[in-house]
Amino acid sequence: MTEDVERVHETVRERYANFARTSSSCCDGGDCCDPTTRDLYPVDLLTVVPADVADFTLGCGNPIAIAGLSKGETVLDLGSGGGLDCFLAAKQVGETGRVIGVDMTPEMIERARQNAGRLQISNVEFRQGYLEQLPVEDASIDVVISNCVINLTPDKFVVFKEIARVLKPGGRLAFSDMVSNGPVPQALRKDVESWGACLGGALEVKEWERGLREAGFENIALKPKDAGGKILSIMPIGVPFSAQISATRRA
């Protein structure tokens, strides 16, 4: 890894390790996700997990809602955090399905594993690793989900290629993430602290589309999270918004 990549990883890792140790939600700090994050999921969906797990929300959307999960599928969650999306996915894929969560932060992995043990969920496992080097076998995954994590990665095009590598031909991705309608200022790009706050790493819409297409995806769809298409003014510069992103790996 280059020095710049490692600096971003270290900054992001320390920030989210602190959340894992001390906070119930990254939104307590008010700068990394949607102000309505606690309302991202339908109430009935969250009844399968205890309140402290449901409230530990690090995302900006609900990838489960667009993933269309089926019984028996194998799901990979990128940046799995405390495990909430993994547990929700595990419920939908059932006992014949399997969910793998990958996170680079040891404290998050430990928290997620403890939660899985408490909930006695046997079809979920958590692996520590970078999204640029996924600890997952080739062509072994039906669906990749992620919730406000791709913006935190320093080399997104490498991540897109890794996602394509682990997906089965015809497999799909369903993401919620922060997306920019225009270029993020270089000053913000170079500020590693802004990356941890989901600011400096927001990728432009056209770059999302180009990167996924070059990695081998088709049927690429990207739209604002809220049904009305309202732009969410999260970043101080530019026009970023919380988006739903879906695509299919070419067969």
Give pLDDT tens digits for 57-82: 778 899 999 999 999 999 999 999 99
What are 151-208's pLDDT values in tens digits?
Answer: 989 899 999 999 999 999 999 999 999 888 878 756 666 666 666 666 668 898 899 9
In terms of DSSP bridges, do strands 217-224 and 203-204 run parallel, antiparallel, or are they unpaired?
unpaired
Give just the sign of the alpha carbon dihedral 193, 196, 198, 201: positive
- Residue pLDDT, tens place only, 3-12: 566 766 776 6
**Position 219: which residue type?**
N
- Per-residue pLDDT tens for 120-165? 999 999 999 999 999 999 999 999 999 999 998 989 999 999 999 9
Structural domains in the chain, CATH included, are 3-249 (3.40.50.150)
What is the band of 54 on the pLDDT scale with cuts at 50, 70, 90?
Answer: confident
User: pLDDT tens across 213-242, in order?
Assistant: 999 999 999 988 864 544 434 433 455 778
DSSP lists the bridge partners of residue 176 as 147, 244
